[in-house]
Structure 1
Amino acid sequence: MKIYVLDTNVLLDDPKAIFAFEENQIILPLAVLEEIDDQKTKTSSIGHNARETSRILDNLREQGRLDCGVKLKNGGNLRIEINGKDFEPPEGLNAAKKDNRILSTAFYIQKENPDQKVILVTNDINLRLIADAFGLKAEQYRSNRLNDDDIYTGSHEIKVPAELIDRFYQNNALELKEFKDIDKKIYPQEMVHLIAVDQKGKSALARFNGEQIVPFLFSKASPWGIKPRNKEQKFALELLLNEDIKLVTLLGKAGTGKTLLALAVGLSKVTDEEAYKRLLVARPVIPMGNDIGFLPGTKEEKLQPWMQPIFDNLDFILNQSNDSSFSFDYLVEKNLIQIEALTYIRGRSVPNQFIIIDEAQNLTAHEVKTIITRAGKNTKIVLTGDPYQIDNPYLDKHTNGLTLLAHKFHNESIAGHITLVKGERSELARIASELL
């Protein structure tokens, strides 16, 4: 049996983490409970998870004293360690810091159980480094962590005989059984690039609708004058314009056009087609849930610095449009567009709207769930982000809510995903993104 000492950030990420370690012993240092208590009043997902952790521990308390240990349903054992608080940390570490108190508890547990494997579980990179430097095994919490192979790209390149591409254009469909050598499974709404192996330059772009490989429905579309510049942007437009697809996730580095395309389609669907009542655009005020009341001015003036990238994209789209009667002020006045901090969406029900959540790579899985469950009838949600530009200190490209969402939904026909790879902002921006 192993002994796992959990850091606070593990429970703030997943309150049910104490049930994820099978038939092993779970230790919560007293400092963890103090940090949980410090976070419980926050209105963000961290506050929600802190309160949920407290509720779970309170329910377990009914089974017995937590400092003596209680049995878990999975066969494990949970105990709150209060003795370790008096154990001196290694020389050079400040004993007053809660992180070092947690480390001290782990060292105390290791000293008291020399014949058992003691592991500190933390999402804090520096704490893992310090633990390792002093000979204590440390791991990242992996319950919500994807492997590189699990990260879904949303597109599939298949090499086929030229004759099969001809048949695709003639019949407007191909059955999966007609492909002999597919190296991996194709998921609903996945984009397919057919490339002829026996005729140079011959290819076709298509989509798997869950049953057949079919042609694009919107290959000629240019919403509000925005035309796709590469195949990934064509893939993205195919997903964005299809009203049967209610959830779209777009990943890509800066300058790949993910936010621009989403805004152009949203404006087109709201103003030209009237398919939705309003375009709602939101970004997290980093960190999500923090109050912006300390900034001067009205709510709109406070949001200006956070939303400027959205305004820049809207300004570019409006300048591309042939209809000079549309302006940002007109769209706001007619209630056709609404720009919010993500904090203000919490608790709402949002029907009949085209919703764009920008910078979604900074969201946790719970925050993404909170957003998706706001969707009312006839609402489409688009989440965009760059998994290589994450500001949340406890998230990375394998654990952020956007990447997890794309992975969880890749087998659902109601959802689509694409990873954009080519920068189109400018030649300078593309080179800088690759070299710097």
Structure 2
Amino acid sequence: MRKIYVLDTNVLLQDPNAIHAFEDNEVIIPAVVLEEIDSKKRNADELGRNARQISRMLDGLRTEGQLFQGIELPNGGKLKVELNHRSFAKLQEVFAEVTNDNRILAVALNYHLEEAEKTEPRPVILVSKDVLVRIKADVLGITAQDYLTDRVINMPGDLYMGNLTLHVHPSIIDEFYTYRHLNIASLNLGYPIHPHEFVILKDEMGSSKSALLKANAEGKKLEPLFLSNEPIWGIAARNAQQRMALELLLNDEIPLVTLAGKAGTGKTLLTLAAGLMKVEDERKYKKLLIARPVVPMGKDIGYLPGEKEEKLRPWMQPIYDNLEFLFDTKKPGDIDKILAGLGSIQVEALTYIRGRSIPGQFIIIDEAQNLSKHEIKTIVSRVGEGSKIVLLGDPEQIDHPYLDASSNGLSYVVERFKEQGISGHITLERGERSHLAQLAADLL
């Protein structure tokens, strides 16, 4: 049976192609949604881009017929801009205030009541990214659901980890140490090992015998790590996952690395140390470019005074904190003198990256979980020949209003690239900043 889907504004602002995501069902866009989209179209951010895109898309569909009467979509569904189910009479008994959210709810409620009177009523479903709108719909007896099509994983815990532990017969561990490799097919796992995925072998008999291995670029063979655990720029791995991260960061054959993990797991510090080694010591790359999105946690403090560098400083301070630690600076302002003297380290905002081509650089994108799928595509597609890009972030700490742990840009790249031989990923789980920081990440 065909269904009727009533779309909230935030669904279209999150994914302008959402009108094509409901198969052969009827998609309803309340008139108030057009008003809200119109109010966003002049924004210079992602919301503005999406508002303009859905506006152009709807304008193009007008050639197929009149939107208020409904037009057929290529997937067999039907799209309609609703004008006739706006009555607020039924809704005001429960929610009296005439807000845009309530006007959208009124459309869904009127459709629901109209269908209930039919012999074969069609299900009416309100689709919204707004939790409170879905709760209100439930109070009114309307089926409501989140927009799930943009999710790359079903649950946050489903994100690819980049490593696994296998309990095997001790003879398999002995075979690895003898021949320095293992064919993955010989393990008869029943599931694939992804390229550059790390595997910890443990003795199923209970002894302390173990081995740390990494899949090759084809995902067919397990090989030893090529790095020793020597410190780089004074930083040494404190746990197995940090060692895995350094293995990926220092491997020039892997141009895309993603690191996920809670605050304090060492993502930024390890990556900066690896970048400094590659740029300053080995001269593998001509520049170290460090960038992060300008997304505030909590209320924005507004405009900042000064030139571009002065405006960016508060947003980029976490990067400078780590650089001060690596360079072991003693006085405030020393890090600025060091960076000016080196000339090969650039701290930048992602605002200015569109249109650039970035060859021969070690690129670090911090807080990548606050980027949308479109933004992350824009960034990764800027990477030029001979560059390496590292995406860092915690999918559980998102400040973007329309993103979550299952739909953000970092999770998107991790899942889409996990089967590619040019990329590697590791999720860091153990905090190393301090005992207090680890407890805060776990308990709060």
> So what's the TM-score if we normalise by structure 2?
0.92
Q: Secondary structure at the match of 1:383?
A: strand
Contact 2:323/2:335, CA 8 A, preserved across alignment: no
Q: How big is the shift at 1:337?
A: 1.0
Judge which range, 42-51 or 410-419, deviates more: 42-51
Task: Report the CA distance shift for 1:287/1:98 in structure 2 as closer, same or farther (over 3 A).
Answer: farther
1:231 to 226, 236, 240: 240
Contact 1:95/1:101, CA 8 A, preserved across alignment: no
Q: Secondary structure at the match of 2:36?
A: helix
Q: Secondary structure at the match of 1:83?
A: coil
Matched, 1:12 2:13: yes
- Cross-structure match for 1:323: none
- Cross-structure match for 1:111: 113
Q: How big is the shift at 1:96?
A: 3.5
Provide the aligned length of Structure 1 versus Structure 2.
430
- Cross-structure match for 1:127: 133
Judge which range, 255-264 or 384-393, deviates more: 384-393
Matched, 1:402 2:403: no
Note the aligned Cα RMSD (angstroms).
2.1
Hey, what's the Cα distance between the residues in 2 that align with 1:338 and 1:172?
A: 40
- Cross-structure match for 1:163: 171
- Cross-structure match for 2:432: 424
Q: How big is the shift at 1:212?
A: 0.7
Q: Secondary structure at the match of 2:310?
A: helix
CA deviation vs aligned residue, 1:122-151 (integer Å, no higher than 9, x gap):
111111111112211111111122213741
Contact 1:292/1:302, CA 8 A, preserved across alignment: no
Hey, what's the Cα distance between the residues in 2 that align with 1:293 and 1:426?
A: 32
Contact 2:368/2:391, CA 8 A, preserved across alignment: yes
CA deviation vs aligned residue, 1:228-284 (integer Å, no higher than 9, x gap):
000110111111111111111111011000111111111111111111111111111
- Cross-structure match for 1:143: 149
1:91 to 90, 93, 99: 93
Give, as a single letter, the amino acid of the residue that structure 2 aligns with 1:159.
Answer: H
Hey, what's the Cα distance between the residues in 2 that align with 1:282 and 1:91?
A: 51
- Cross-structure match for 2:76: 75
Matched, 1:222 2:237: no
Give, as a single letter, the amino acid of the residue that structure 2 aligns with 1:358.
Answer: D
Judge which range, 170-179 or 82-91, deviates more: 82-91
Hey, what's the Cα distance between the residues in 1 that align with 2:240 and 2:195?
A: 18
2:196 to 189, 200, 208: 189
Hey, what's the Cα distance between the residues in 2 that align with 1:211 and 1:68?
A: 56
2:185 to 153, 165, 177: 177
Judge which range, 70-79 or 147-156, deviates more: 147-156
Q: How big is the shift at 1:334?
A: 3.5
Hey, what's the Cα distance between the residues in 2 that align with 1:366 and 1:48?
A: 10
CA deviation vs aligned residue, 1:73-126 (integer Å, no higher than 9, x gap):
000000000223343433353544211211111112222322111001111111
Hey, what's the Cα distance between the residues in 1 that align with 2:344 and 2:315?
A: 21
Task: Report the CA distance shift for 1:161/1:409 in structure 2 as closer, same or farther (over 3 A).
Answer: same
Task: Report the CA distance shift for 1:98/1:431 in structure 2 as closer, same or farther (over 3 A).
Answer: same
Give, as a single letter, the amino acid of the residue that structure 1 aligns with 2:436.
Answer: L
2:160 to 152, 166, 171: 152
Task: Report the CA distance shift for 1:97/1:13 in structure 2 as closer, same or farther (over 3 A).
Answer: same
Task: Report the CA distance shift for 1:166/1:74 in structure 2 as closer, same or farther (over 3 A).
Answer: same
Q: What does 1:347-426 correspond to in 2, within 5 Å?
A: 347-426=355-434
Contact 1:219/1:238, CA 8 A, preserved across alignment: no
Q: Secondary structure at the match of 1:244?
A: coil
Q: How big is the shift at 1:426?
A: 0.8
- Cross-structure match for 1:51: 52
Ranges in structure 2 where 5+ consecutive residues have no aligned partner:
none
Q: Secondary structure at the match of 2:93?
A: coil
Give, as a single letter, the amino acid of the residue that structure 2 aligns with 1:185.
Answer: P
Matched, 1:206 2:221: no
CA deviation vs aligned residue, 1:206-244 (integer Å, no higher than 9, x gap):
100122100111233422121000011011111111111
Hey, what's the Cα distance between the residues in 1 that align with 2:431 and 2:302?
A: 36
Q: Secondary structure at the match of 1:280?
A: strand
Give, as a single letter, the amino acid of the residue that structure 2 aligns with 1:111.
Answer: L
Hey, what's the Cα distance between the residues in 2 that align with 1:90 and 1:249?
A: 49
CA deviation vs aligned residue, 1:289-340 (integer Å, no higher than 9, x gap):
x9998211121221122111111111111129xxxxx955333344311111
Hey, what's the Cα distance between the residues in 2 that align with 1:272 and 1:328?
A: 20
- Cross-structure match for 1:284: 293
Give, as a single letter, the amino acid of the residue that structure 1 aligns with 2:197.
Answer: E
Q: Percent identity?
A: 52
Contact 2:71/2:79, CA 8 A, preserved across alignment: yes
Hey, what's the Cα distance between the residues in 1 that align with 2:384 and 2:106?
A: 49
Q: Secondary structure at the match of 1:405?
A: helix
Ranges in structure 1 where 5+ consecutive residues have no aligned partner:
321-325
Judge which range, 66-75 or 130-139, deviates more: 130-139
Hey, what's the Cα distance between the residues in 2 that align with 1:293 and 1:381?
A: 31
Hey, what's the Cα distance between the residues in 2 that align with 1:193 and 1:44?
A: 43
Hey, what's the Cα distance between the residues in 1 that align with 2:285 and 2:278?
A: 6
Give, as a single letter, the amino acid of the residue that structure 1 aligns with 2:231.
Answer: S
Q: Secondary structure at the match of 2:222?
A: strand
